[in-house]
Structure 1
Amino acid sequence: MRAVTVVQPSADPRDLVVQDVPKPEPGPRQVRVRVHAVSLNPVDWKLTESAHPRWQVPHVLGLDAAGVIDAVGAEVTGWQQGQRVAWHGDLSRPGVFAEYALADDHVLATVPDDLSYEAAAALPCAGMTAYQGLFRKARLEAGQTVLVQGASGGVGGFAVQLAKRAGANVIALSSPAKTDRVRHLGADEVLDYHAPDLKARVRALTGGYGADVMLEVAKPADARSSLELVHYNGHLICIDPLPNMQNVPAYTYAVSIHEVALGGAYLAGYVPTQRDFAVMLADLLGRVSSGELDPMIEHRVGLDEIPGYLRRLRQGELAGKTVATLV
């Protein structure tokens, strides 16, 4: 089968190789899926820079996929050949940028018949990261104010939509060029993240206190630049990585800091959270099917184009989601 592979750690996704590799065989509690579509995420290019210690090269890259179950391993219950599924994979194992891929049966979600494989593949990593941060970690409630950094990207764009549908007031941080796009996703206010008076503007929109919840997709040099945008006893959701707290005085902000790292549930072997992947993804798939959620597909490419688009993603050129169609 053809696959996008890492042959050695590299700082440039252009060094990825599309080549033939053996078709994988499902083990116990695994299914093999004929992959129809995959989506690209920042973690994919980050992993090309430093291979995971569990990898054996050539390693198939990719985490998010949708397709049709092709084979079922021993001890699998509830799944059979021909079912349409989507999932978020384990970054320490061979990935999904391939014609066939393996998935653990307990992380699978059914793709509704009226939903394209491309839309389903766009959801797992970015959608579940936003979902877990807002609802599992910060316990977002209607009427609260959410501040979303990187609102035109994958995680940020899903966070804007999910928060708005949950009845929250959404303040989005984005570049001025992407204001219309972010407002279309549901943001009530869009602020330039480079504005020198950003703190004052956020405070003015939140009764002088700051947001209830801030979702931060990239850490600042000093955590105080984010904590000052959140009210006392608020919530800061951190995607990659945790903020630098070295210069933060104790008893000043009392903010609850939440780390969101989907891959950690696999590495820790914590099955309850892995099972929740299927629950979150099923909800997201249902929302897209009903028209409540936009999968934000901006670019549609083929398997051979993945390395080039990962490079563009690394350079910050791509908004929304990029999906590759394999079938």
Structure 2
Amino acid sequence: MSQINDIPDHYPAWTWQMQDEPKDLALKNTVTVPLAKGDVLVRNAVIGLNPVDWKVLTGALVNWEAGKVPGVDGAGTVVAVGDGVSGNWVGRRVAYHQSLALPGSFAAYTPVPARALMPIPDALDFHTAASFPCPGLTAWQALGKIPASSGARILISGAGGAVGHFLVQLAVARGFDVSVLCNARHWERLRSLGASNARHGPLADDNELPEALQGRFHAVIDAVNSQHAERLVPALQANGHLVCIEGRLENWPNPPFGQALSLHEVALGALHNHGNDEAWHQLTQAGEELLQAMADKQLQPETHHICPFSELPAWLDALKHRQFSGKALVEM
């Protein structure tokens, strides 16, 4: 194993105590364990907070034991590598998206599979890099479900969040005509990123899809929930595409030989559980290109809200209750 010389035997980490609320996370000293084959150890500089980080605390989505370190996104410096990993990684600045099943980013150090690493361009800071992996890679995957068609109209529902922020920019860059469905407070920002049309959303439970949106779109990408996505089916043209980021439709929404829609679900966790090295290479290569685009000011990150490590649970709770707009980032 190759490493630098100042790795401690213990380090601080926020840990899950089988409680549902972010404020119930406990700060503990975690023992540094030998790296598994194919892993590296990252000294975290900045941790990115995401909605999934509070959603998993109920335990319904995971099979955790008390003491598990949560967190999927981080950026820092590789300080050690395990067997099978090139020593050239040591000292490199990287961003990563971690599996929910592995020790997470809510810690001073995180062991990460080397295949999940994305080198950070020299011109990009740790804060911006840490804000990217989960929402940026999710947006990239979602858009990849849709066949390219220059000028085709797509609708992004729930576009006011982090995934929507990247989706609008990536979709515009690929030549789509982008409409958004979200709270009006996000309209100006999303229009500045290239959205051509904005409408209020999500749809209220007793509201039907406006007639002006029916049958207009080559694709709909929904980031609200599966029930909301199903209500947007009438917005699609024949042979259209419905992409679900939160959940998925339980039943096909049309009879055979009807609209002939294509249904898609998006989950970064699928790669952690089922992806091979080639699939990971494609994902991290796309991530590197998008990080470079941010370094070149061609892709805009969200507004940063920076807090100290000691306040991580409070900020995760604030994220859960939508007390701010933008990206919560935790400095070590």
Q: Residues 220 and 241 (structure 1 numbering): CA distance in 2 closer, same or farther, change over 3 Å?
A: closer
Q: Does 1:161 align with 2:169?
A: yes
Q: What CA distance in whole angstroms lies between the structure 2 residues aligned with 1:262 and 1:170?
A: 24
Q: What CA distance in whole angstroms lies between the structure 1 residues aligned with 2:61 and 2:244?
A: 22
Number of the residue aligned with 1:206:
none
Q: Which amino acid aligns with 1:150?
A: G
Q: Does 1:275 align with 2:275?
A: no
Shift of 1:83: 0.5
Q: Higher mean Cα deviation, 266-275 or 164-173?
A: 266-275
Number of the residue aligned with 2:12:
2
Shift of 1:110: 0.8
Q: What CA distance in whole angstroms lies between the structure 1 residues aligned with 2:108 and 2:216?
A: 47
Q: What CA distance in whole angstroms lies between the structure 2 residues aligned with 1:71 and 1:247?
A: 50
Q: Does 1:201 align with 2:209?
A: no
CA contact (8 A) 1:147 1:173 kept: yes
Q: 2:156 aligns with which of 148, 151, 159?
A: 148
Q: Does 1:210 align with 2:219?
A: no
Which stretches of structure 1, 4 residues or longer, exceed 4 Å deviation after superposition? Answer: 51-54, 195-198
Q: Which amino acid aligns with 2:210?
A: K
Q: Which amino acid aligns with 2:52?
A: V
Shift of 1:217: 0.8
Q: What CA distance in whole angstroms lies between the structure 2 residues aligned with 1:153 and 1:53?
A: 24
Q: Higher mean Cα deviation, 125-134 or 53-62?
A: 53-62
SS at match of 1:319: coil
Number of the residue aligned with 2:100:
91
Q: Does 1:130 align with 2:139?
A: yes
Q: What CA distance in whole angstroms lies between the structure 2 residues aligned with 1:112 and 1:22?
A: 31
Number of the residue aligned with 1:317:
323
CA contact (8 A) 2:305 2:329 kept: yes
Q: Residues 74 and 54 (structure 1 numbering): CA distance in 2 closer, same or farther, change over 3 Å?
A: farther
Number of the residue aligned with 2:42:
33
Shift of 1:157: 1.0
Q: Higher mean Cα deviation, 183-192 or 313-322?
A: 313-322
Q: 1:55 aligns with which of 47, 54, 64?
A: 64
Number of the residue aligned with 2:267:
261
| TM-score normalised according to structure 2 size | 0.89
Q: Residues 305 and 140 (structure 1 numbering): CA distance in 2 closer, same or farther, change over 3 Å?
A: farther
With a CA cutoff of 8 Å and minimum separation of 6, indicate the structure with the bigger relative contact order: 1
CA contact (8 A) 2:226 2:248 kept: no
Q: Which amino acid aligns with 1:172?
A: V
Shift of 1:84: 0.8
Shift of 1:297: 3.0
Q: 2:243 aligns with which of 233, 237, 241?
A: 237
CA contact (8 A) 1:222 1:247 kept: no
| TM-score normalised according to structure 1 size | 0.91
5+ residue gaps in structure 2? 1-10
Q: Does 1:226 align with 2:241?
A: no
SS at match of 1:300: strand
CA contact (8 A) 1:61 1:97 kept: yes
Shift of 1:283: 1.5
Q: 1:170 aligns with which of 175, 178, 184?
A: 178
Q: Which amino acid aligns with 2:17?
A: V
SS at match of 1:21: strand
Shift of 1:268: 2.5
Number of the residue aligned with 1:112:
121
Q: Residues 187 and 2 (structure 1 numbering): CA distance in 2 closer, same or farther, change over 3 Å?
A: same
Q: 1:286 aligns with which of 292, 309, 312?
A: 292
Q: Residues 130 and 115 (structure 1 numbering): CA distance in 2 closer, same or farther, change over 3 Å?
A: same
Q: Which amino acid aligns with 2:111?
A: L
Q: What CA distance in whole angstroms lies between the structure 2 residues aligned with 1:312 and 1:121?
A: 18
5+ residue gaps in structure 1? 204-208
What is the identity percentage for the equivalent residue pairs of Structure 1 and Structure 2? 32
Q: Which amino acid aligns with 2:186?
A: K
